[in-house]
């Protein structure tokens, strides 16, 4: 299975944010979408999630050379700022979420089994989420996407503001759940992309280009990437 973006473009008035995004993402991989703040990473995600109408282009799944339309259940979207209902406990929220999506959840686990997946502390599960740390709220947002098990997951800088321990836990969760799925992980931090992702694509001048990770041992590699990002920021 592949997720194909074909010649996608999007503008805000006269500001052309995405000029010609054209790329095929393969199943079973975590892709790092690397770009400076303001490069258009969130705009691209919002287009793919259907929150913004594109000016031109298309995107679809492809399997055995056959196009498949992208449905609402095919995409999971993890925002950089987690949004969870503050008036519910983690357990109540997850139960409510599983109840309303019961027809879409295949091979459901128990609530505690799900919470174990993302290491929600047991003494936290029955507390109101308004008292959760940013990292724990982020885990809950990630968890509801894992419950639905979409074919494509869009992750908009979910690790940027997390402490080291929680960030490493979340990296392990993503590595353990990439099989049979496509994960696109946006970040402006090169080191996170190098550590977590199987492939890195650079959003530069409104287009996507593959970064050759075989050059990682080249001492000039990071410098070249940073220079490309700097050029994109100054354009």
Domain 2-234 part of CATH 3.90.180.10: no
Q: Average model confidence (pLDDT) for the chain?
A: 88
Instruction: List the domain boundaries for the chain.
Output: 2-234
Residue range 64-81, pLDDT digits in tens: 989 999 998 899 999 888
Please tell me the pTM assigned to this model. Answer: 0.88
Q: What is the pLDDT of residues 174-192, one digit of tens each?
A: 999 999 999 999 987 778 8
Measured at the CA of 76, the angle between CA 86 and CA 140, to 5 degrees, comes to 30
Instruction: Report CA torsion sign: 49, 50, 54, 60.
Output: positive
Strands ordered across the beta sheet of 182-187: 75-78, 152-156, 182-187, 29-34, 199-204, 207-211
Taking only the tens place, the pLDDT of each residue in 106-148 is 889 999 999 999 999 999 999 999 999 988 998 999 999 999 9
What pairs with residue 56 in β-bridges?
Answer: 9
Rounded-to-integer distance, Cα 124 and Cα 132, Å:
8
Angle at 182 between CA 72 and CA 222, to 5 degrees: 130
Name the maximum alpha-carbon separation found in the chain: 52
């Amino acid at each position: 299975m592949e997720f194909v973006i074909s010649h996608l473009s999007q503008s805000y008035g006269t500001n052309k944010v995405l000029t010609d995004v054209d790329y095929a993402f393969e199943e079973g991989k975590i892709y790092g979408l690397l770009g400076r703040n303001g490069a258009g990473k969130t705009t691209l995600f919002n287009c793919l999630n259907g929150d913004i109408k594109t000016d031109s282009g298309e995107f679809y799944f492809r399997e055995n050379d056959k196009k498949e339309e992208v449905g609402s259940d095919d995409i999971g979207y993890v925002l950089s700022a987690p949004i969870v209902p503050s008036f519910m406990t983690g357990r109540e929220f997850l139960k409510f979420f599983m109840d309303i999506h019961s027809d879409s959840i295949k091979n459901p686990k128990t609530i505690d089994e799900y919470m174990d997946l993302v290491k929600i502390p047991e003494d936290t599960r029955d507390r109101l989420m308004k008292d959760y740390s940013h990292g724990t709220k982020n885990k809950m947002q990630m968890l509801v996407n894992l419950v639905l098990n979409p074919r494509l997951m869009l992750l908009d800088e979910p690790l940027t503001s997390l402490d080291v321990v929680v960030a490493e836990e979340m990296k392990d969760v993503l590595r353990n759940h990439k099989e049979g799925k496509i994960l696109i992980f946006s970040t402006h931090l090169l080191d996170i992309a190098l550590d977590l992702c199987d492939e890195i694509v650079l959003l530069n001048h409104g287009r996507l280009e593959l970064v050759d990770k075989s050059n990682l041992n080249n001492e000039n590699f990071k410098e070249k990437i940073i220079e490309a990002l700097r050029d994109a920021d100054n354009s």
